[in-house]
Amino acid sequence: NAGVTQTPKFRVLKTGQSMTLLCAQDMNHEYMYWYRQDPGMGLRLIHYSVGEGTTAKGEVPDGYNVSRLKKQNFLLGLESAAPSQTSVYFCASRLATDTQYFGPGTRLTVL
C-alpha cells in the first residue's frame, strides 16, 4: 500500500513550457486534491475532484488544468508555465469523511 505518490519529485521549467504532474493513490479514495504551498501563503487549493470523471476549480485555478480519467489518478497540467507557478505542489486524497492523505510533493521551479 503505497498511499499517495507524486511524479516527478523535482522539475525545472523555462517560461512557456508545459508539463503534467501525476498523482496516484491506491486507497480507492473518491476525493482528490491539488494544493500549492508557497512561503508565507500556506497551502491553497488549485483544483479538486469528487470522483472519476469529475473536476472542479479551487481557490487558485488560473493557469492550471486537471483530469481524472481513472479513479486512482489525478493529473495537474501547466499549459504555459510562468515564474509565478514556482511552488511546491501537493496532492491529497480522502474518503468522504476521513482525514486527507498527502503525497510527498513536487518542487517546481519556473525560470
Partner 1 sequence: KQEVTQIPAALSVPEGENLVLNCSFTDSAIYNLQWFRQDPGKGLTSLLLIQSSQREQTSGRLNASLDKSSGRSTLYIAASQPGDSATYLCAVDYGGSQGNLIFGKGTKLSVKP
Given 17, 71, 72, 102, the residue binding partner 1 (CB under 8 A):
102
Residue 5 exposed, middle or buried by CB count within 10 Å (0-12, 13-18, 19+): middle
Residue 94 found at the interface with partner 1 (CB under 8 A): yes
CB 51 → partner 1: shortest distance, Å?
11
102: which residues sit within 8 A by CB, 6+ positions away? 4, 90, 91, 92
Binding mask 73-92 for partner 1 (x = CB under 8 A): -----------------x-x
Show the cell assigned to 16: 512557456
Whose cell is 497540467? That residue is 77
Number of residues counted as binding partner 1 (CB under 8 A): 23
CA nearest to 98, candidates 22, 27, 48, 26 = 27
Binding mask 18-47 for partner 1 (x = CB under 8 A): -------------x-x------xxxxxx--
Binding site for partner 1 (CB under 8 A): 31, 33, 40-45, 48, 50, 56, 58, 90, 92, 94, 96, 99-105
